[in-house]
Structure 1
């Protein structure tokens, strides 16, 4: 029977994506293209202190850099967001340049919201959290202000934050994730620099790459899939699986380039379809358990694949074929990849206790997305405990 369900594709506002380039060489031309003159740089502490990249960037841009901060932190706490937004406003910056991973890019998106909405305190900012569409499948902004500043992203990890307008900084007071959809929050330009990527610790590349795999799987196995998004996701998963293990060899230049291409494919589709449990449960395990999103994604991605076995057989079969392992159970393919990379496969591997996970059940059930849009329903406490039980064993 023909599927007549309407399909929605969401463009997320990028105007330039430059792949396989030296970011320092390319950035001045990109700034000129968009007419930017006053740059506020947000970077990770490790990029600033453990590489020469920021020193080289400052030498190249000179007085165009009007401010810089490396005070980001794990999950980009709201206090850091608000402080940096005030600094960027005071510096009269006309663009934010991010150099780092998901926390850095998330922080920049939230800074944009602060500046556009003139919201420089916690209470004002938290009023701007997203709402869901009537059918519960799409996140919608509550901000009414046009974007007054944009971001140019130079990613140093592989989890695809540069591809969405969504920002989820952690609230210092509650330890819960705030949830924003920022108007024009996706970077106006993305510069993919494989040489810079090679300076990221390989263990971080592997874990954030798995988070990218998780995003792509949720796109391909969505409760409301889109054919274009699924096609991109299948290709992304194949590229990740083929190339992530090669990142242990810093001389494998092409593998770094291909992994950045995989994030591009993943990102182009992930905002167009609803994602399920593994995408959202990291927002509970992360702040409650003090676990990096990407590490949590390894375990939850594997548990979700087991939970869905038999429910989405055609999708899993297509993914196994795309990876080049037709006939193999999809969860077994993922498990083998995680073991090969030395990534966690169980909640125990994350250092969590049963008591800690029990304390996460309530917040997970209250979260607006964890129990929505799952092909195999996860709506009750029993459902949630059942899938988490799968996460206790490899």
Structure 2
């Protein structure tokens, strides 16, 4: 292949755009695309003044937010930057952000960072709509992690008691998403890789999530193939922008935007993560590292035959030989996930995060719904093994 042909192939695979109906107007992706993508989305939305919502570390320790500010200033749409969104999007931070949004007269939020600022921005827009009425205002999401919060219509945040709360509406989905891998270079390694495991969690649990159509499940297969390939590659060379861009696209495929007829929760690994995350201060990427492999092992025994077939099918996309048994293939997938966590240096325990051992039964009951659920005893065992 000539140098020109190779460059063209790489460009075609790493640059482009995608649009969907309703709220999401477009996804722009490619290294360096922020300079053209952000003005384009602002014009599409007819936005006049933007509030940047982000976290303190990203604002103070990197130049990512300044790059976004400079672009907004060049196009006379910069209102202010609110950089007080903490982990798990505390409600107090959201209320402060909402007040700043109103004070500057913003009509759009540009969320920069991981799941916390993106979900916080959804919550700000939700509360703004509750207060002011009229059409929902919009968010443009610029993720710097692989958590994929930008592809959902829900916003999870933490209330005054430290409990996870959610609001949801189709209008809360970001109106624009910008995947610029160059902006992820400053993301700390542990955060980058662990949110990559969160994307693995999304893709795996979508394979047995109710109401997900087969085409989306095949996207999840492709997402898993790339996540298993490029997460180790990104760990080995953190400056590999192409690998980072492919990981951002894999994260997108892991939680592809889709309108469902009714609400459909992802699965047990996510349920456990939600109960562990905000309550005990564990990042959601790390909860996926803890819970996904043992949950998949559990599914080898408890899932329907159809769900087992979908899970077992992952091995083909990972280029791993089948054991000859669907059930054993699901167990093998669990081991592959566990090994990936180990290879990425992300092994941890509930002890490290000071989760009281006696809380295990309560966490299990909350995750499955009740102590009478058939999976409850096994989930208690899973949590016990995580210490």
Q: TM-score by structure 2 length?
A: 0.83
2:289 is the alignment partner of 1:298: yes
Q: Distance in 2 between matches of 1:274 and 1:92?
A: 36
Q: Distance in 1 between matches of 2:83 and 2:134?
A: 27
**Cα deviation per residue 1:58-109 (whole Å; 9 max; x = unaligned)?**
2332242112111101111111111211211221111100000000000000
2:87 is the alignment partner of 1:74: yes
Aligned match of 1:166: 154
Of 350-359 and 182-191, deviating more is 350-359
2:120 is the alignment partner of 1:86: no
Q: CA shift at 1:24, angstroms?
A: 3.6
Of 260-269 and 190-199, deviating more is 260-269
Structure 1 residue ranges, 4+ long, deviating more than 6 angstroms after superposition: none
2:343 is the alignment partner of 1:340: yes
Change (3 A) 1:323 1:392: farther
Aligned match of 2:208: 221
2:274 to 258, 266, 283: 283
1:177 to 164, 172, 183: 164
Asked whether the 8 Å contact 1:210–1:294 carries over to 2, the reply is yes
Of 261-270 and 329-338, deviating more is 261-270
Q: How many residues in Structure 1 have an aligned counterpart in Structure 2?
A: 348
Aligned match of 1:371: 368
Of 99-108 and 278-287, deviating more is 278-287
Q: Distance in 1 between matches of 2:174 and 2:53?
A: 13
Q: Distance in 2 between matches of 1:49 and 1:260?
A: 24
Aligned match of 1:39: 50
Q: Distance in 2 between matches of 1:197 and 1:247?
A: 11
**Cα deviation per residue 1:190-221 (whole Å; 9 max; x = unaligned)?**
00010111210111011111111111111112
Q: Distance in 2 between matches of 1:34 and 1:291?
A: 36
Asked whether the 8 Å contact 1:112–1:147 carries over to 2, the reply is no
2:143 is the alignment partner of 1:148: no
Aligned match of 1:103: 116
Q: CA shift at 1:351, angstroms?
A: 4.3
Of 108-117 and 353-362, deviating more is 353-362
2:5 is the alignment partner of 1:18: no
Q: Which residues of structure 2 form unaligned runs of 5+?
A: 1-19, 323-328
Q: CA shift at 1:389, angstroms?
A: 1.5
Of 227-236 and 307-316, deviating more is 307-316
Change (3 A) 1:345 1:12: farther
Q: Secondary structure at the match of 1:178?
A: strand
2:61 is the alignment partner of 1:50: yes
2:312 is the alignment partner of 1:317: yes
Q: CA shift at 1:55, angstroms?
A: 2.1
2:197 is the alignment partner of 1:210: yes
Q: Distance in 2 between matches of 1:231 and 1:263?
A: 14
Q: Distance in 2 between matches of 1:206 and 1:12?
A: 32
1:331 to 317, 331, 334: 334
Aligned match of 1:136: none
Change (3 A) 1:97 1:226: same
Q: Secondary structure at the match of 2:52?
A: strand
Between Structure 1 and Structure 2, the one with more helix by share is 2
Of 96-105 and 18-27, deviating more is 18-27
Change (3 A) 1:317 1:282: same
Q: Which residues of structure 1 form unaligned runs of 5+?
A: 1-9, 120-144, 365-369, 373-377
Q: Distance in 1 between matches of 2:290 and 2:376?
A: 15
Task: State the structure with bigger RCO (CA 8 A, min sep 6), 1 or 2.
Answer: 1
Q: Secondary structure at the match of 2:313?
A: helix
1:268 to 226, 249, 256: 256
1:188 to 175, 186, 190: 175
Change (3 A) 1:271 1:337: farther
Change (3 A) 1:385 1:290: farther
Q: Distance in 2 between matches of 1:186 and 1:383?
A: 33
Q: CA shift at 1:223, angstroms?
A: 4.1
